[in-house]
Amino acid sequence: MEKKYVAEPYKIKVVEPIAVTSRAQREEVIKKAGYNTFLINSSDVYIDLLTDSGTTAMSDNQWAGIMMGDEAYAGSKNFMKLQEAVREVYGFKYIVPTHQGRGAENILSQITIKEGDYIPGNMYFTTTRAHQEMNGGTFVDVIIDEAHDSANENPFKGNIDLKKFENLIDEVGADKIPYICVAVTVNLAGGQPVSMKNLKEVSKLAKENGIMVMYDATRCVENAYFIKEREEGYQDKSIAEILKEMMSYADGCTMSGKKDCLVNIGGFLAINDEKLYQKATQLVVVYEGMPSYGGMSGRDMEAMARGIYESVDYNYIHHRITQCRYLGDKLSDAGIPIVKPVGGHAVFLDAKQFYPHIPQDEFPAQMLAAQLYLKSGVRSMERGIISAGRDKDGNNYHPKLELVRLTIPRRVYTYAHMDVVADSIIDLYKERDKVKGLKMVYEPPVLRFFTARFEPLK
Ligand SMILES: *Cc1c(COP(=O)(O)O)cnc(C)c1O
């Protein structure tokens, strides 16, 4: 069936050629990369859906801003612009610029977490959890159960389960919980949003117990779009209004500018509490740079400030979300098992269902990502047993979700590219019985998914 789509709300001013390779070339490439798509050179990739992080196409307005960089060591005017954008669009008082999201996570974790603390959150994120653990904290997943079920169509699958949050408070005591980390949207659940109602309730419960609410705001604009689309009372509100209301229920946020701020590098920590802001500035000078540039150049801060305003334009975000959904619907209509509903930044293939004959310990998602590259030069990534890593005792985590992520960069690919991706996956699905699993032949000690190597099982 022909699918309808929302045409691009922009036109192309600059083009970047991409590699068209043969099957024989790709066979060499994947073998050399140890069947790990992270280890493929981008010059060997046709359509790169590895990540939406830092892969954004900036606008002519942002590129013009790059020329307006004020590279002063202190008090850059671009920092003032960025601060103003964060205050106006997000509503937080203080901002500490960092080189990217994890720089902000590092500072937040250090100024708030003590040995033995607990940090509840709606499903873990790799770098976020790593910083919490490195500071002596324990991450506790308090997302609703539905989030772990790839077929469940709850419209707000990223919601916090208030009962789980409350139970944790009862169990360990509120003084052991410096803050609750609420990701809007939840990356590892498939880009699933949190409802405004849930954000309000979380804020109330946290406040009653003297616990701060910190958002992982990385994809907050996508979250705002889903609220407008799905939550009663928000249809007539603008994305900017919804975003501002969301943020009003938090004490601050960490932000990876490489996603919803529409830039290629940068991030920030935003916070309302003046004392914590001062603590953060003491650390930013050690890890990043002066408080007025952190980990960014003046021109980068200018591009980010402009990106923040562009990101709340309805036409931009409407196109983005519907492009993801187009790919998801096309796959779903062909009977391909995907995570539902389709989230904000990616389509996730359910590898356990795609290759039911491959046990999780033989890495079905990793193999599916490798097969997709072999088929058409499309690069995706594993989000399953390899990404989940090992626990403190060295045992593999066995996550319920064994997924391949097809992440859509912002403003980069067209619907024709989405068709190529969908058609190659549909072909792979027809040949699925012939595919076997992998064995891991090299495993690094941390964040293994980036550099682990594999060989196909005979
Ligand atoms: C990307 C990301 C981060 C980390 O940000 P970086 O800019 O990559 O350091 C944190 N949380 C989520 C949900 C992310 O997607």
Other beta carbons within 10 Å of 400: 11
Residue 1's pLDDT is: 52
Query: For residues 93 and 108, what is the distance between their CA atoms, to the nearest angstrom?
Result: 16
Binding site membership of 44 for ligand 1 (Cβ less than 6 Å): no
- Its CATH architecture, for the domain 60-311, is 3-Layer(aba) Sandwich (3.40)
Binding site membership of 187 for ligand 1 (Cβ less than 6 Å): yes
Q: Where in the chain is the domain with CATH 3.90.1150.10?
A: 23-52+314-456
Å from CA of 57 to ligand 1 middle: 18
Q: Whose CA is nearest to atom 13 of ligand 1?
A: 187
Binding site membership of 62 for ligand 1 (Cβ less than 6 Å): no
Å from CA of 146 to ligand 1 middle: 23
* Catalytic residue (choose from 81, 157, 259, 405): 259
* Contact status, residue 35 vs residue 367, Cβ threshold 8 Å: yes
User: Scanning the structure block, which residue is given the tokens 């990739």?
Assistant: 45
Q: Where in the chain is the domain with CATH 3.40.640.10?
A: 60-311
* Catalytic residue (choose from 87, 93, 126, 419): 126
For the record, the structure tokens of 170 come out as 């009862």
- pTM of the predicted model as reported, rounded to 2 decimal places: 0.95
For residue 259, indicate whether it is catalytic: yes
* Contact status, residue 435 vs residue 358, Cβ threshold 8 Å: yes
Binding site membership of 216 for ligand 1 (Cβ less than 6 Å): yes
Across 261-377, the runs of DSSP E, i.e. the strands, are 267-271, 346-350
Element (H, E) at 302: helix 298-311
Collect all residues with Cβ–Cβ distance below 8 Å to 6 and sequence separation of at least 6.
Answer: 318, 319, 322, 323
Other beta carbons within 10 Å of 333: 12
Collect all residues with Cβ–Cβ distance below 8 Å to 295 and sequence separation of at least 6.
Answer: 97, 98, 99, 100, 103, 266, 267, 288, 289
Residue 380's pLDDT is: 98
For residue 125, indicate whether it is catalytic: yes
For each of the chain's 458 residues, which pLDDT tens digit applies? 566 789 999 999 999 999 999 999 999 999 999 999 999 999 999 999 999 999 999 999 999 999 999 999 999 999 999 999 999 999 999 999 999 999 999 999 999 999 999 999 999 888 899 999 999 999 999 999 999 888 899 999 999 999 999 999 999 999 999 999 999 999 988 899 999 999 999 999 999 999 999 999 999 999 999 999 999 999 999 999 999 999 999 999 999 999 999 999 999 999 999 999 999 999 999 999 999 999 999 999 999 999 999 999 999 999 999 999 999 999 999 999 999 999 999 999 999 999 999 999 999 999 999 999 999 999 999 999 998 888 878 898 998 889 999 999 999 999 999 999 999 999 999 999 999 999 999 999 888 899 999 999 98
Upper half-sphere CA count for residue 425 (Cβ side, 13 Å)? 33
* Contact status, residue 261 vs residue 218, Cβ threshold 8 Å: no
Q: Whose CA is nearest to atom 10 of ligand 1?
A: 101
For residue 414, indicate whether it is catalytic: no
Residue 66's pLDDT is: 98
Sort strands 179-183 and 212-216 into parallel, antiparallel or unpaired: parallel
Query: For residues 173 and 166, what is the distance between their CA atoms, to the nearest angstrom?
Result: 10
SS3 416: helix
Q: What is the CATH number of domain 23-52+314-456?
A: 3.90.1150.10
Using CA atoms of 237, 238, 240, 241 in order, give the dihedral in degrees to the nearest 10: -20
For the record, the structure tokens of 263 come out as 């830039």
Element (H, E) at 407: strand 403-407
17-to-44, 165, 261, 407, 423 alpha-carbon distances in Å: 12, 49, 25, 20, 21
Is residue 173 exposed (0-12), middle (13-18) or buried (19+ Cβ within 10 Å)? exposed
* Catalytic residue (choose from 46, 125, 249, 354): 125
Residue 2's pLDDT is: 61
Å from CA of 370 to ligand 1 middle: 24
Sort strands 453-456 and 378-379 into parallel, antiparallel or unpaired: unpaired
